[in-house]
Structure 1
Amino acid sequence: MTFNPLEHRGIPLDRQLRDWRELAVEPVDPDRGDPYTRCRIITMNGIEIEAMLFSHHFARHCPDLDVKRTLARVRYIEAQQQKAVNWLLPGASSVLETTISYEQVAVDLTAWIARMEPDPYLTQAYQFGVLEDFDHLYRYANLYEMIEHRKAEEIVDQLTEVMPGRPTPLHHRDPVDNVREPYDRRGANPLSKLHALTVMAAEQQTMNFYLNVGPTYMEPIARQLYQEIGMIEEEHVTHYESLIDPGETWWEQLVHHEYNECYLYHSFIEQESDARVRAIWELHLNMELEHLRLACDLMRRHDGRDPAEVLAPELPNVLTFEPNKQYLRELIATQLDLTTLGTGYVREAHERFERMQQALNSDGMPPSDQVLDAHREMFGREYRLQTEGEHPVPALREN
């Protein structure tokens, strides 16, 4: 069923404030809940955090007090939404268990978007990134079995395979090679704009999560792995944020943020298996419809344009969490040895890439490889979850 959020009115803003009882949501069951429900929760937490951060940055650059007040009122509700969403995660889960869910989000969200993206250049950007997140999931799964003596399959429920992707040590590139070409705001498919904003927001919250939880571990190997992958997530945020056209006005970006929230809440209502969580998605969608209306009014008043000029006339097919096993295996078979050079991709280990590798690894083995060595020493093998088959892990070719 088609759905155009511009044609719907939501809950008036002055009726959206929730009291503490309403915000005290019951978390999902960590053992019997749908793994993709956790993925949807993590995704929407990242989307709400991005909405708040964008609104703060907008306010810091906006001289109009009335606009700043509107942003502040909406932002307070976004902050309540973020608390309600993120507090759905079970407190009984360890940081590593939540981390594995974060990486399951990165794998299956980015893979689905890569499959649906209409722009080949943007598709390549998502395909490149997902092979790195795939390997992060694999490294954390090995760490999880070492520290907590449990298997990642209990978390991902065999919906997502756990096996090597592009080796994590090869993700460290010269920063200049993490910057991509942006889409052209004047001709880009509206769906492409939603995809770029969604993946950027998801990677941003992963970066923030790792930089905060990493030093809370006592085990040196865990602290070091979070530090290494946290640095790669910084690269990924650079990679994805550079896809967004910087020529979009603040007003245009505001309506994109609000429209994207409507798109994702609508998508997750359509597929949510947990009735209690689905009710939260429905409530938040009705809130976001009003946020979108207010953003559109601001754009008309201050940007002199109709938001319909830059937004999709109706929401595209719902964003879906589903297994992407075959798609990922095809990428592994064809793109594992890629790295970046300028705004493009190459298979050769070029000079800037090699300099970065030497600078980081001059004093020994990177933490992501130390994890695998320690796991082999402890269990006589590496941990992986596969449904069938195997694949090789080629190295980057030398010049």
Structure 2
Amino acid sequence: MSTSSRILTRFLITLVFALGGAGFGVMQQTSPIIAGKVEEVRSLDKPQQFRSMAKLVAGREVAGNDSSNWREQQADFYGTILETCESAEMKSRALERVRALNPDLKDSDVDIRVSQSKGSSIFNILATGTDPKYTRIFLDALLDEFIAFRQSIREAAQGRVLQQFLQEVVTKQKDMETSEAALEKVRAKVDTPSVKAELERLVTRLNSLRNQRDDLRLKIKPLEAADATKAPLQSQLEATESEIQGIETDLKRYESDLAELRTLTEKHRLNTMAYEKLFHEVEKIQVVFNSASDYVAIQERATPASEHVAVLQDPFTGAASGGVKLGGVAVSGIVIGGVIFGLAGAFIGLLLSLLLIRAPRPQAPAAL
């Protein structure tokens, strides 16, 4: 084979492998379209999509010192946040809020997706819509409605618990007020300066009469029945005893009132203690609810909505490919893939052509 034929054959082999490699590279870049695996790609017949991002931060403390089911509690708590943010109820609430605060805006469909950052308690809320302004406003409204919804749930739970205690507080307060009214009524009868002075006078008079009675009994005892002095002393003794009985009757009446006063005073003291104790319990419950063990707060509000265009990764470098999109695939990525695989094919073809087509060995001269 002549030298020119060998060169031409090698060139053809190299060209064939180069074209084959380029074709393979183009197929690699466009394979997502062929396989139908390109997601969220905007084609010419679909409207533009705009995205806005917001963030929530949540936390939950372990109840007491028991952390045996901590993971289950955390999973349930975080799962509730995810489902609630994506729920139709939250979207409906956000829609009503947008309509109320921005009546000039036209309604637009907004898709909400929530994801939790790995290894953290931060939740990323992604809103996707066709109107950038409406998408951002809708996402902010969703955040506000979610926080308001959680607050209403907390207040409702607090209200149910407090209602039971408040009913008991009202009952104890009525008992305290009733016993206080009865106490004041009895106290007005016996616990006054005039009554105290009267009691003191009666007691003093009673002691004096008892002494007189004892003296009269001593005088009458040695006297004979026929003694003329005995009859007047006997009459005086009977009068003294009668007066003593009257005073004792009065004192018994006052003693009954005093006993009632002591009873009502103790009853009022116990009722007051029960009321104050229950009232302090209600205050403690309010403090517990106000310093709840779990919380959810807005970390970042909605960002300005930007247009979303699918970004594919380069199969060689793993870097994102931008530029002009053809059915969701970057044209620059197709060109790069074709060039790289084409050069690789050309190199392989050149090596094969050098191995397969070799120049003939020069023959030694006959004289040698």
**TM-score normalized by structure 1?**
0.17
**Which structure shows the higher strand fraction?**
2
- Rg larger in structure: 2
Q: TM-score, normalised by structure 2?
A: 0.17
